[in-house]
Amino acid sequence: MEVDYAFPLPETIHTDPARLRQVLTNLMGNAVKFTERGSVCIAVRHARETDRSARVRFAISDTGIGIPADRIGELFEPFMQVDGASTRRYGGTGLGLPISKRLAKALGGDVEVSSQLGIGSTFTLTIDAGPLEGVRMLESPQVPATAKEQLPDTEHEVLLHGRVLLAEDVPDNYVVLRQILRMMNLELEVAEDGRAACAMAERSKAEGRPFDLILMDIQMPKMNGYEATRWLRQHGWRGPTVALTAHALADDREKCLAAGCDDYIAKPITAKRLRGVLTRYLGQSAAAGGSPSGAPRPAHDSPGLLDGGILDPANVAALVDAFRGELPARAERIKEAFQQHNRDLLIELAHQLKGSAGVHGLDNLAEIARALSDRLQAGHEWKELRAAVSELVALCGQAAAGQPDTPHG
């Protein structure tokens, strides 16, 4: 494995570290898997566009089997394999690259590929590095010091206060969020679909104790988050509503705002994003005697909601162990629903697994469950879904055994 830095490079960039790590892991994993002889190299380049805009490129090159020119266009189609013989030899269902491309677009970039059959391939990940004004540029590699969570200055500590309505249909998600919000001294009530959320919000207003914040999941049964938010706005609800969406593409924020949401959080939710939103709408500055806070406290991001230091480590371990312990049973239900050709049940199981896996830090498992759910709802034939179901079941087994949830292709 070789690393080639083209200096100067920015010391820091503004991006989502969890998603960036996931894309690089998928691309590097593929490069290593398909390279039996030779080497794998990752080259890092920086291109400043303006003082407030820059891009970083990661080019992962290998000397592996290569890809036929007429099949490159199929690489980023979910569940597609360019070579059946390679699939049998190396395994996988072709989910890693579609996931990587989708996440790259969420990071403001893309994944591109060039390849020669029998010589090797280069996958180039480009991301938006954010504003670099004032960022120090490095001229040589540096070994980073151990990252430590920035502790709040007690003089400016942000206190949270209020009642929160969580509209969320996945039990694992609201169990985790309930514990976290209660640790932050917030009152929480849960609605399991959009209709229930509307009814509970209206009732709280009639009782003279309206919710101070609504966290609205977008994909719910009976009435989705867009529809529920529109209904609430049409009926005079003026309180802040924040969308929880599994989609992180550029136009998704606009859709949420157009529906009447004040803000949105892309799943998988991280501790930093959750703290930021709660502070923005429910924060009171201790030093200012309870005046609303402006921006969220600076903090390092974390790869998952449970890794943000909010809950006691023993509690986190218990939640994760319990979730992993349930995965074999979930996998069996998924297999049974597929064998019975029960599309509605399989959509429900994939949807629930997508949300649960993301909360527990299993991002690849969440993305594959999402891809399966999307294809089921699009009406794909059962024979086209077999590989996806097999991959999802296999990843459930890996996660249950404590192994990384890395896609096999």
CATH number of the structural domain 2-138: 3.30.565.10
pLDDT, greater one: 208 or 154: 208
CA end-to-end span of the chain:
20
Average pLDDT score, the chain: 80
Nearest CA among 107, 133, 138 for reference residue 48: 133
Q: Which residue's structure tokens are 């239900």?
A: 333
Determine if the pTM surpasses 0.85.
Answer: no
Report whether 217 contacts 225 (CB < 8 A): yes
Q: Which CATH class is domain 154-311?
A: alpha beta
Q: Which CATH class is domain 314-400?
A: mainly alpha
Q: For the purposes of burial, counting CB atoms within 10 Å of the CB of 345, is it exposed (0-12), middle (13-18) or buried (19 or more)?
A: middle
Tell me the per-residue pLDDT of 265-289, one tens digit each, with 9 for 90 and over.
887 777 778 888 999 999 864 334 3
CA 342 – CA 385 distance, rounded (Å): 12
| CA 47 vs CA 2, 137, 231, 277: distances in Å | 21, 12, 45, 32
Tell me the per-residue pLDDT of 69-89, one tens digit each, with 9 for 90 and over.
888 888 887 655 555 444 434
Tell me the per-residue pLDDT of 197-248, one tens digit each, with 9 for 90 and over.
999 999 999 999 999 999 999 988 889 999 999 999 999 999 999 999 865 5
CA 301 – CA 307 distance, rounded (Å): 9
Domain boundaries, the chain: 2-138, 154-311, 314-400
Report whether 390 contacts 95 (CB < 8 A): no
